[in-house]
Amino acid sequence: MVVVALENATKLEAAEVQSLAQGAGISLPDKDIDDWCVLLGSFEDSAQSVLKEDDCLPIPDPKVYTRTDIYVPEDNNKGGWATRCTVKSTAPTSDRLGGCTVAVKDNTAVAGVRCLNGLPPVDGEWIPAYDATIITRVLDAGGIIAGKAACENACMECLSNTSYTGAILNPYSDNHGCGGSSSGSARLVAVGAVDMALGGDQGGSIRIPSAFCGIVGLKPTFGLVPYTGILGHQSTFDHAGPMTKNVRDNALLLEVIAGPDGRDDRQPAYLPPQSLRFSSALDDFLASKPKDQLLQGFKIGVLKEGFDSKEMDPNIANANYSAIEDLKALGAEIVEVSVPSHIRHITTWMCSLPLIGCRQGILGDTTGRKQLEMTDRGVTAAPAMGPSASARLSQKAFDSFGPGGQSLYLRYLYVQEKYGASLHAKCTNLLYKATQEYDAVLATVDVLVMPTVPMPALSIAPFAGAPVAGPLETISYPIGIVNNTAQFDATGHPALSIPVGFVPAADDPAVKLPAGLQIVGKRFEDLTCFKVGAAWEQSKDWKTLVFEN
């Protein structure tokens, strides 16, 4: 470890150096204490000089990127909105979005607009000074940011009843949830409050609410879309993606936000520009053949284990099997394929989350990364983190989290105490093995298909107006919801959810709720998922289809 300068260096007190060493369980020879006082004092001088410098946050030009009408709405569209605003560019570089209104998940930085991340503002609201890369790209394409869509508490819940701003109600039933954590984004698109929305996905948080609300949602290939300026969970699982009314709009929004930004280390350094032209390539495909022959030459693998979970609702399965028969009628070859460890990979994904997921997602410790560090968020990132290397949440901060966030934090403490880094290391290797397993199956087919979620939207009535449920009841209630989604956050494969009909609600057969089909492709072949989804979408009106035993 080098020393930059010693001239006029500060000299620490011997007691401070000795206390530092003793706190770490080590001892320093008495003869070396004076040397360490000088060396550490010199480092303190350097640290203070660095902290005084401007850290070059990407603050937008207010004359080019204008912001007006920023307010907290009294009518939040049954929970959909967290904050309203109008953000647009006075000099867009293209008209690809041509005035389309876009809602933004409330874990994404929009300069001048509060960012709650579904949490109460424990130590004051965070109002970012900059825009996330995907926001700038939407504005440059002529899109209009219409507001921040409510998301679940710390983006760690999946029912849509935990946001600080209130429960987010399903567009088809006020007694049912939207799924999470991109719950507000899904609702606002489904009810037509906006043309498009941006969501985030670490375990299914784009696809689950898309399936529950009857819209199209894509978890892109890992690294395709920059995550710069977005609050995450774990850098190896973080994805941002489009949520839209139809597949073509999804391809268009992906085209706008995709591609390396030079700052996010999740991304490859270069992607050929022609590989990012999703909407025009999809248009060419749809015009290339008669509609009833679009999938000739495609081989589609029906993932056996995707239908095998004990939580599988038979009506959801039937809706998916019907859609698969439709794909066959469009010319595709349909084959059954198997990844025997498909459900087992969920356990590995879950065990990999606590150590890094808590450090990055709760404590705000993103050291070791090349990315935009959101230094303007300050102590809000971890309200009681403090200067200690063994950071801990205060009681006040802990209480601000819902059961999902609290569970992650307590699991983090447990893993730190019992396993250290060994469990995470084991999971990392096993998830690479999982990636290889899906790659091997995808080498034999163009895409995999399965239900997005094994059940329709869940009732939130048990958690409304009743005594607060305990963590066991709350966390166990949606078991099975990520059975077909979380694996692909870990492996990075693109996964598209499209609505394929309605099914009865599990608690009330008179209520009909959407069902989703998930289409999973090879990495960086998101376009293939769009082709399959759009071909089905052109052949059927999903809103006319009802599947019930």
Instruction: Dump pLDDT digits (tens) for 25-80.
Output: 999 999 999 999 999 999 999 999 999 999 889 999 999 999 999 999 999 999 99
Span 69-95, average pLDDT: 98
What residues have CB less than 8 Å from 364, skipping those under 6 apart?
377, 381, 382, 385
What residues have CB less than 8 Å from 511, skipping those under 6 apart?
172, 173, 175, 176, 504, 505
Which of residues 7 and 89 earns the better pLDDT score? 89
Give strand ranges (E) for 171-262.
173-177, 196-201, 216-219, 239-244
Of 298, 275, 99, 79, nearest to 186 by C-alpha is: 79
Q: Are 332 and 299 in contact (CB under 8 A)?
A: yes
Give residue 354's pLDDT. Answer: 96
Question: How sure is the predictor about 385, in pLDDT bands with cuts at 50, 70 and 90?
Answer: very low
Rounded Cα distance, 65 and 60, in Å:
7
Rounded Cα distance, 482 and 132, in Å:
27
Q: Assign 333 to helix, strand or coil.
A: strand
DSSP 307: G
Rounded Cα distance, 319 and 288, in Å:
28
Torsion of CA 475, 481, 486, 488, to 10 degrees: -170
Is the four-CA dihedral 348, 350, 356, 361 of positive or negative sign? positive
Length of the chain: 549
Give strand ranges (E) for 38-172.
65-71, 81-89, 101-105, 144-149, 169-170
Report the percentage of the chain scoring pLDDT > 90.
91
Q: 308: how many CB neighbours lie within 10 A of its CB?
A: 15
Break the chain down into helix, strand, coil percent, rounded to 5: 35, 15, 45
Span 385-398, average pLDDT: 70
What is the amino acid identity at position 335?
V
Rounded Cα distance, 421 and 359, in Å:
12
> Which of 8-22, 345-359, 460-474 shows the lowest per-residue confidence on average (mean pLDDT)?
460-474
Which of residues 129 and 384 earns the better pLDDT score? 129
Give residue 5's pLDDT. Answer: 77
The residues that bridge with 88 in the sheet, in sequence order, are 66
b (16+ CB within 10 A) / e for 210-247: bbbbbbbbbbbbbbbbbbbbbbbbbbbbbbbbbbbbbb
Rounded Cα distance, 486 and 482, in Å:
6
Q: Assign 515 to helix, strand or coil.
A: strand
Residue ranges per structural domain of the chain: 14-51, 65-345+425-544
Torsion of CA 147, 153, 159, 165, to 10 degrees: -50
Tokens of 446: 């163009």
Rounded Cα distance, 140 and 191, in Å:
26
What residues have CB less than 8 Å from 54, skipping those under 6 apart?
none
Digit-coded pLDDT (tens) for 188-239: 999 999 999 999 999 999 999 999 999 999 999 999 999 999 999 999 999 9
521 burial level (CB within 10 Å; 0-12, 13-18, 19+): buried
The residues that bridge with 68 in the sheet, in sequence order, are 86
Q: Is the pLDDT of residue 299 over 60?
A: yes
Give the residue numbers marked as catalytic: 105, 181, 205
Span 3-8, average pLDDT: 80
Respond yes or no on whether the N-terminal peptide bond of residue 338 is cis (omega within 30° of 0).
no
Q: Is the pLDDT of residue 328 over 70?
A: yes
Digit-coded pLDDT (tens) for 407-435: 999 999 999 999 999 999 999 999 999 99
Q: Is the pLDDT of residue 380 over 50?
A: no
The residues that bridge with 469 in the sheet, in sequence order, are none
Rounded Cα distance, 509 and 504, in Å:
5
**Average of per-residue pLDDT values in the chain:** 95
Rounded Cα distance, 434 and 345, in Å:
7
Architecture of domain 65-345+425-544: Alpha-Beta Complex (3.90)
Question: How sure is the predictor about 312, in pLDDT bands with cuts at 50, 70 and 90?
Answer: very high
Give residue 124's pLDDT. Answer: 86
Please state the pTM of the whole predicted model: 0.96
Rounded Cα distance, 210 and 225, in Å:
19
